Amino acid sequence: MGIQRMRWLTVLLAVALVLGLLAGCAPKKPAEPAKPAEPQQPAQPQQPQGLSGSIQIAGSTSVQPLSEELAKAFMTKNPGVTINVAGGGSGAGIKAAQNGTADIGASSRALKPEEKGTVVEHQIATDGIAVVVHPSNKVDGLTLAQVKDIFTGKITNWKQVGGKDAPITVFRREDGSGTLGAFTELVLGEGTKITDKALQQNSNGAMRTAVAGDPNAIGFLSFGYLNNEVKAVKIEGVEATVDNVKAGKYKLSRPFLYLTQKQPEGVVKAYIDFVLSPEGQQIVGKEYITVK
């Protein structure tokens, strides 16, 4: 009997341990790319003392991680301020700003003509997406249509786009990823399905490692994760560089917008000013393209 009881406990413990393993799989943040420490910014203009209040941010899930970083930094500087960052999607963010249900609506796409003027726009960052292949791949450039055909499974061999005779290994991000969302929107068009055979990686870092390891691979990365392990191909003949994005030549980019119902005031203004300040833009610059 004693032994049996012990076994019960053992099994329960085993179950608890298995569950413990699951618990270990809590959300991970993508690793930040290593960057040389930037020189300290010159002294900031003094923030108004004793700022207090709360800010509600809602909208794009792509902007969400950046908003969280920025909000954290702002709240550290101003302990009296609480900022809540919620998701919901760009559409919801624009609506929230129009109705004033959130102080700031976040959008990761440009406003449509009919939406222009209904809210005040503040562009806080630009996100560029690079289509990457293995460095040994002799394909240097693709058209948007070719990229689309590769990811939807119409083109399956590199020789169809001027490369060697080898099957293309397509890598994509998991459903829900903002990078996947932007890629879908910019390249495939809403509702188009990526081929079922695409392999999935769950972070920019894992994507880079996977493409770097497979000579026949193709994938896509946020600009912040590009390095010499992978080759970014030209899109429509334009190189994937920050300058080309800023000049509007590179097509796979999108703005990150903060939207407010009226000209921002008080604590909301202080926060947006902070985001656009050199200090805020330095946070933006870790993974995205700054606006200044």
Partner 1 sequence: MRRAVFERGSEVALFLAALIAVVIIVLIGTFILIEGLPAFERTGLLNFLLGHEWRPLQGVFGIFPMIVGSIAVTAVALAVGVPLGLATAIFLAEIAPPRAERLVRPAVELLAGIPSVVYGLFGMTMLVPIIRALAQTWLGASLDPQFRAGYSVLAAGLVLAIMILPTIINIAEDVLRAQPLEYKEGSLALGATHWQTIACVLLPAARPGIVAAIVLAMGRAIGETMAVIMVAGNTPVLPQSLFSPVRTLTSNIALEMPYAGPGAHSQALYATGVVLFGLTMVVNLAALLVSRRRVKRG
| Chain positions contacting partner 1, by CB under 8 A | 3-4, 7-9, 11-16, 18-19, 21-22, 24-28, 61, 87-89, 156-157, 167-170, 174-178, 193, 196-202, 206, 209-210, 213-214, 216-217
Q: Which amino acid is residue 38, in one-letter code?
A: E
E strands present in the chain: 53-59, 81-88, 104-107, 120-133, 141-142, 169-173, 199-201, 217-222, 231-232, 234-235, 253-260
| Cα distances (angstroms) measured from residue 94 to each of 65, 100, 252, 256, 274 | 18, 10, 22, 12, 21
Q: Which is nearer to partner 1, 18 or 247 (CB)?
A: 18
Residue 169 Cβ, how far from partner 1 at the closest point, in Å? 4
235 C-beta neighbours (distance < 10 Å), count: 24
- Is the alpha carbon torsion for 98, 118, 186, 208 positive or negative? negative
Q: Closest CB to partner 1 among 4 and 49?
A: 4
Least spacing, CB of residue 86 vs partner 1, in Å: 9
User: Cβ 261 to partner 1, closest distance in Å?
Assistant: 24
- Treating both helix axes as pointing N-terminal to C-terminal, what angle do 64-77 and 266-276 enclose, rounded to 10 degrees? 110
Shortest CB 15 distance to partner 1, Å: 5
Nearer to partner 1, 33 or 65 (CB): 65
Closer Cβ to partner 1, 23 or 43, answer by number: 23
Q: Determine whether 246 is exposed, middle or buried from the number of CB atoms within 10 Å of its CB (0-12, 13-18, 19+).
A: middle
Nearer to partner 1, 14 or 247 (CB): 14
Cβ distance to partner 1 smaller for residue 210 or 242: 210
Of 138, 104, 134, 157, the closest CA to residue 276 belongs to 104
CB 210, min distance to partner 1, A? 8
Select from 106, 44, 65, 41 the least CA-distant residue to 272: 106
Q: Which residue number, 138 or 193, has a Cβ lying nearer to partner 1?
A: 193
CA–CA distance, 6 with 71 (Å, rounded to integer)? 50
For the CB of residue 211, give the shortest distance to partner 1 in the complex, in Å: 11
Whole-number minimum distance, CB 269 to partner 1, in Å? Answer: 29
